[in-house]
Amino acid sequence: MTVLVVSGMDFEARIAAGHGVETLYGHRDAALARVMDARLAQGCAGVISFGVAGGLDPTLPPGTVIVATAVRAGDASYSTDPYWTAALRRALPQAATGLLAGSDTPVITVPEKAALHESHGALAVDMESHIAARAAHAHGIPFAALRVVIDPADRPVPPLAVAGMAADGSTDVGAIVFGLLKAPYQLGSLLRLGRDASAAKAALASARKAVGTGFALLALAAA
Per DSSP bridges, beta strands 46-55 and 3-6 are: parallel
pLDDT for the residue numbered 51: 97
Comparison of pLDDT for 180 and 100, the residue scoring more = 100
Asked if 53 and 66 touch (Cβ cutoff 8 Å), the reply is yes
Does the structure show a pLDDT above 70 at 83? yes
Does the structure show a pLDDT above 70 at 163? no
Distance, CA of 19 to CA of 120 (rounded, Å):
36
The 10s digit of each residue's pLDDT in 9-46 is 999 999 999 999 999 999 989 999 999 999 999 999 99
pLDDT for the residue numbered 223: 60
CA angle (39 as vertex; 38, 43 as ends), nearest 5 = 120
Comparison of pLDDT for 3 and 174, the residue scoring more = 3
pLDDT for the residue numbered 134: 97
pLDDT band of residue 50 (cuts 50, 70, 90) is very high
CA angle (73 as vertex; 169, 9 as ends), nearest 5 = 10
Does the structure show a pLDDT above 90 at 188? no
52: Cα separation from own chain's centroid: 4
| Lowest model confidence (mean pLDDT) among 53-67, 109-123, 124-138, 179-193 | 179-193
CA angle (193 as vertex; 192, 195 as ends), nearest 5 = 65
pTM higher than the cut 0.85: yes
Comparison of pLDDT for 187 and 178, the residue scoring more = 187
Domains of the chain: 3-155+197-222 (3.40.50.1580)
Average pLDDT in the 81-97 region?
A: 97
Does the structure show a pLDDT above 80 at 172? no
Proportion of the chain above pLDDT 70, given as a percent: 96
